[in-house]
Amino acid sequence: MKMNDFEFTSESVAEGHPDKVADQISDAIVDLFLTKDPSSKVAVETLTTTNRVVLAGEVRTNNGAVVTHDEMIQAARDVVKKIGYEQDGFHWEKMDVSCYVHGQSAEIAQGVEEGQGLYAEEGAGDQGIMFGYAADETPELMPATLVYSHQILQKMAALRHSGERPEFEPDAKSQVTLRYVDEKPVGVNAIVVSTQHKESATLEELRELVRPIVQDVLPEGWFPPEDKFYVNPTGKFVIGGPDGDAGLTGRKIIVDTYGGAAPHGGGAFSGKDPSKVDRSAAYATRYLAKNVVASGLAKRCTIQVSYAIGVSQPLSVYVDTHGTGLADEARIAKTLRELFDLSPKGIRTHLKLNNPIYAGTAAYGHFGRTPGADGTFTWEKTDLIDELKRLIN
C-alpha cells in the first residue's frame, strides 16, 4: 500500500569529501581532453589517500591532440588546491600524483563509433539502464531532502573559502530528514552535519557556527528540536579528507542524483566523456522528466531508458508519473521519443554535451542546478514545455 505520510532522508557530502575529491579530479581531466578535442573518449578513475593521488583509465583523441601525463597531474593538483587542501596529510603541492592513464583499446571503439560495427549510426558505448526523475516539491523540481542537504554544505564551503569561517575544513557531510504529509514536505525531523574542523574549534563552537547556516537554508519554522540537531555527533573531526579515508571516483552516485528518492541505474558519471550513456542518458532522462513536471503533466515523474552496446536507439523508454499524471504514460513516452533523439549522438547534440562543462558537476549534485551562460547544466532547461503540452493534449 502506498504511504502518503512518511519520513524520508537524503544526504550530501562536501567538495572536500575524499570520494568527491576523486570525482572532481576525474571530471577535470574529462574537461582537459574536451578542451583539446570535443570528440575525445575519456574513462578516467581517481584514487585519493594520504598525500597521494592515483589516476588510471583509458583515453583517445580523434584530432591528433595530445594531453600529457604532466598536464593530467597538474589538473589534479589544481583541483585539490581549489578545494583548499593544505594539510600535513593532504596538500595540493606536496602530494604524490601517479598517472597510469593510457590509450583506449581498439576493441572498445569497435561498434560504438559512427560507421563502424553492425550499425551505421554511432552506438551506445555499453549496455545499461539509466533513470531520470523530477518532483514538484521544490523550485528546482528535486527532492527537498537532497536540495537542503546540498545547500547546507554549499553555504559552509562558501564561508570557508571566503575566510569568514576558518574553523571549517574541506571535508563535511550533511543529512536531512523531512516529514511528509500527502507526499509533500511539511517539516524537519532531524538534521545531521559533520564537518572537519581546526584543532582549536570546540564542538560547542561548531554547533553554533552551523546553526545559522541550517536556519538560513530551511523554510522558516522548520528548524528541528535541539535533540534532533546533530553537529559532529561522533565528536572531534580534525583528520579528514583523503588523509582520513580513501576516496574513489563514482562512490557517491546517490548524492550525485536524487538522494535515494528515485531509482538509479548503477553507473557513475564523473570521469566519463558524454559519449558514455551512463552519463549522457542520465542527463537526458532528467531533462525529459523535469520538462514533464514543469509542463504540469505530472507532479512526479520517473523515466527509465535502456541501451545495448553498439546499438544507437534505446531498447526501451519507460515513464512512471506515480499516479499524478494528467496524460497516459504510454502517450507521454511516445511524445518524448518524438521530441528528443535518445541516441548517444542525438543526446550530445541536443544538450551540447561535447564541451568542457563537467568540473562543476562533480560536487553538490548533477541535477537541480541552474543552467549557465557558459553552457553548463543544459539538461536543467525546461524548453520542451510548450511542445509537451501541445502534443499531449
CA distance 251 to 277: 18
| 252 carries a ligand binding annotation | yes
The verdict on whether 11 is a catalytic residue reads no
The verdict on whether 77 is a catalytic residue reads no
| 172 carries a ligand binding annotation | yes
| 8 carries a ligand binding annotation | no
Catalytic residue among 41, 150, 252, 286: 252
CA distance 46 to 31: 15
| 272 carries a ligand binding annotation | yes
The verdict on whether 320 is a catalytic residue reads no
Catalytic residue among 11, 27, 31, 45: 45
Long-range contacts of 312-320 (CB under 8 A, 24+ apart): 312/119, 312/121, 312/122, 312/123, 312/124, 312/343, 312/344, 312/345, 313/342, 313/343, 314/281, 314/342, 317/342, 319/292
| 41 carries a ligand binding annotation | no
| 168 carries a ligand binding annotation | no
The verdict on whether 182 is a catalytic residue reads no
The verdict on whether 94 is a catalytic residue reads no
The verdict on whether 184 is a catalytic residue reads no
The verdict on whether 167 is a catalytic residue reads no
- Report in angstroms the alpha-carbon separations of 146 from 11, 112, 359, 363, 370: 6, 35, 20, 13, 16
The verdict on whether 23 is a catalytic residue reads no
Q: Which three cell numbers stand for residue 223?
A: 528548524
The verdict on whether 82 is a catalytic residue reads no
CA distance 202 to 102: 47
CB distance 385 to 335 below 8 Å: no
The verdict on whether 272 is a catalytic residue reads yes
| 345 carries a ligand binding annotation | no
| 171 carries a ligand binding annotation | yes
Catalytic residue among 27, 169, 278, 380: 278
Catalytic residue among 19, 27, 137, 273: 19
The verdict on whether 290 is a catalytic residue reads no
The verdict on whether 20 is a catalytic residue reads yes
| 289 carries a ligand binding annotation | no
| 245 carries a ligand binding annotation | yes
Which residues are identified as catalytic? Answer: 17, 19-20, 45, 58, 173, 237, 245-246, 251-252, 272, 276, 278
Annotated binding site for K(+): 45
Annotated binding site: 17, 19, 45, 58, 104, 171-173, 236-237, 245, 251-252, 268, 272, 276
